[in-house]
Structure 1
Amino acid sequence: MITAFARSKVNLFLHVTGKRNDGYHLLESLVVFPEWGDRITVKKGKSITLEVTGPFSQLIGSTEENLAFKAAHLLKREGGSNEGARIVLEKNLPVAAGIGGGSADAAAVLKSLNVLWNIGFSNNRLGQIGLALGADVPVCLYGKPAMMSGIGEQISGLREFPKFNILLVNPGISASTGDVFSQLTISEKITSSDDFSGRTARELFIGLAAMRNDLEAPALEVAPVIDAVLSSIKEQKGCHLARMSGSGATCFGLFEEEEAAEMAARDILERHPDWWVQAAAVDP
């Protein structure tokens, strides 16, 4: 039996830089992985099965459409394995929330079954397989602070990345990625080539303030409540930056101190008990 932690993925900024003829959008994004996420357990079985538990298990939908389930079948085919697997997914992250839950689950399944089935694929090969499942799967396989570009397949690791604390807030709604992108007008603003390596947390926050999430404005058209989420985070003591992650609707706040992030989580949850709120460390 193998257990893996599928950490949430947060886009500290996300610039949409173009669109390919096949419909995929080109992007530039700084991605981190807070210490909070789903949990994957795999063990050998006669066939591939998926059991979903956890607080968000009822929102998963069809097993056949689940990225973790698809990842297992894709790896079995690509790796030429004759084995099966019993997969248990403990779903702790909200669904369709802009923090890469499904992609992180798929990445954890690929890594775990690569070992369980003794396939022996390299991380690069797993990334190629993962890209067929979704643009975020390769960076979730990498699992460390990174710059993403292209459609998500170009990944550059960062040196000496600082530790800090993050507050994740979701208002209990799903923002359709397709609906958000349908509202997008691609920005002509010049994007940054800075890889954000070698900075203190405070310097990182200052640099990020000049960046943006190009999907935030179109997401507000789809889900206006995101504005209230951002306002609730911005007003918290010790918050240096508030922004939306991915295509939403989860937003985040950046804090230097753990205590400040925890206090902010308690305050927001007290005022909005129907929201999902989680403070976590970002520890490279």
Structure 2
Amino acid sequence: MPARLAPAKVNLFLHVGPPGADGFHPLSSLMAFADVGDQVAIELGEGSLMVSGPFARALGPERDNLIWTAVRAFVEELGRPMAELAMSLEKALPVASGLGGGSSDAAAVLRLIRDVFAPQIDDARLERVAARIGSDGPACLWARPVVAEGRGDRLSPAPGFPALDAVLVNPGIPVSTPAVYRRLDARGDFGAVAPPSMPDAFESPQEMAAWLALQRNDLEAAAIDVAPEVGTVLDMLRAEPETLLARVSGSGGTCFALCADDIEAGTLAGRIEALAPRWWVRRCRLGGPWD
């Protein structure tokens, strides 16, 4: 059964402006992808989606899964019926965690369908389909570092940077993105959304962490208001000596800590697991793509 990693998406910074007339908030974000995530697979079958893994029960009804949205959009782009598929999803990422899991799952399925059953669909057409699964769809399709603007659909290449050793931590509390945006609107903590000036490349994790410290996640305070446990995670990470930078990803509730190398990341992950054994903790590398 052809399979693919659907990597976790991490917002290294996320600048969010006030909503426009259409209700959408313009943003700019530097996105990277982790070498950990869900696993998706497809084969010819009876038109089904089997979900397994530690977070399978946290998902909503199967019909609401973005994977089905992706399949329907692909069929419409193809312009003709397609053979029924049996699909599987191993849900290893927490749900409603700010890691773009649903979009990444759907994007990975799109690539599998194209590669296995419809290689005549070129990259541009596949990107058009990915845009229909949500704001993170185009970025998740190729899972390479990008700067996203607008609704997240205008993408440009990210500066060069080394693979970043990191630790992802989630306190096990789903965080509703709409609730976070409502809280942001109530707070009025909007920032400028023009992408900051960036070098062509960062030479080391320390250099990149120092530059990222000048940026922000404008959803961070709102996410902590909605789920105070996120603030507890962030405070713990920021207090540890291995952490170069700690920040909330997306709308929460996962936080990430950048470290100098894999040894530092492993040490930090082990300590957090010992201090908070109920939390979801994963050592990873950020960059991408991880094909």
Q: TM-score by structure 2 length? A: 0.92
Q: Deviations over 1:87-120 (max 9, x none)?
A: 1101110001001100100100111111222153
Q: Which amino acid aligns with 1:92?
A: A
> Structure 1 CA distance, aligned partners of 2:167 and 2:248?
11
Q: Which amino acid aligns with 2:9?
A: K
The answer for the alignment partner of 1:214 in structure 2 is 218
CA contact (8 A) 1:44 1:116 kept: no
Q: Which amino acid aligns with 1:178?
A: P
Alignment of 1:46-57 (within 5 A): 46=46, 48-57=47-56
| Alpha-carbon distance change, 23 to 159 in structure 1, aligned in 2, over 3 angstroms | same
- Aligned-partner SS, 2:161: coil
CA displacement at 1:273 relative to structure 2: 1.0
> Structure 1 CA distance, aligned partners of 2:16 and 2:40?
31
- Aligned-partner SS, 2:88: strand
- Aligned-partner SS, 1:34: strand
Q: Deviations over 1:110-148 (max 9, x none)?
A: 111112221532233222222222100110012111100
Q: Deviations over 1:1-37 (max 9, x none)?
A: 3211100000000001342322222100000001100
The answer for the alignment partner of 2:90 in structure 1 is 90
> Structure 1 CA distance, aligned partners of 2:82 and 2:192?
50
> Structure 2 CA distance, aligned partners of 1:159 and 1:215?
23
CA contact (8 A) 2:15 2:192 kept: no
| Alpha-carbon distance change, 112 to 11 in structure 1, aligned in 2, over 3 angstroms | same
- Aligned-partner SS, 2:26: strand
The answer for the alignment partner of 2:142 in structure 1 is 142
Q: Which amino acid aligns with 1:255?
A: C
Moved more, 184-193 or 243-252: 184-193
> Which residue, out of 252, 255, 259, partners 2:256?
252
> Which residue, out of 165, 187, 190, partners 1:187?
190
CA displacement at 1:66 relative to structure 2: 0.5
CA displacement at 1:181 relative to structure 2: 0.1
- Aligned-partner SS, 1:172: coil
Moved more, 13-22 or 143-152: 13-22
Q: Deviations over 1:152-195 (max 9, x none)?
A: 11111235321220110000011100000001125244754334
The unaligned stretches of length 5 or more in structure 2 are none
Q: TM-score by structure 1 length? A: 0.95
- Aligned-partner SS, 2:28: strand
CA contact (8 A) 2:145 2:287 kept: no
Is 1:197 equivalent to 2:196 in the alignment? Answer: no
> Structure 2 CA distance, aligned partners of 1:89 and 1:34?
18
Moved more, 118-127 or 90-99: 118-127
> Structure 1 CA distance, aligned partners of 2:274 and 2:74?
44
The unaligned stretches of length 5 or more in structure 1 are none
CA contact (8 A) 1:165 1:254 kept: yes
The count of residues paired between Structure 1 and Structure 2 equals 283
- Aligned-partner SS, 2:115: helix
- Aligned-partner SS, 2:212: helix
Alignment of 1:65-144 (within 5 A): 65-79=64-78, 80-118=80-118, 120-144=120-144
| Alpha-carbon distance change, 176 to 274 in structure 1, aligned in 2, over 3 angstroms | same
The answer for the alignment partner of 2:274 in structure 1 is 270
CA displacement at 1:56 relative to structure 2: 0.8
Q: Which amino acid aligns with 1:134?
A: G
Alignment of 1:34-49 (within 5 A): 34-46=34-46, 48-49=47-48
The answer for the alignment partner of 1:62 in structure 2 is 61
Q: CA RMSD in A?
A: 1.6
> Structure 1 CA distance, aligned partners of 2:159 and 2:231?
33
CA contact (8 A) 1:145 1:161 kept: no
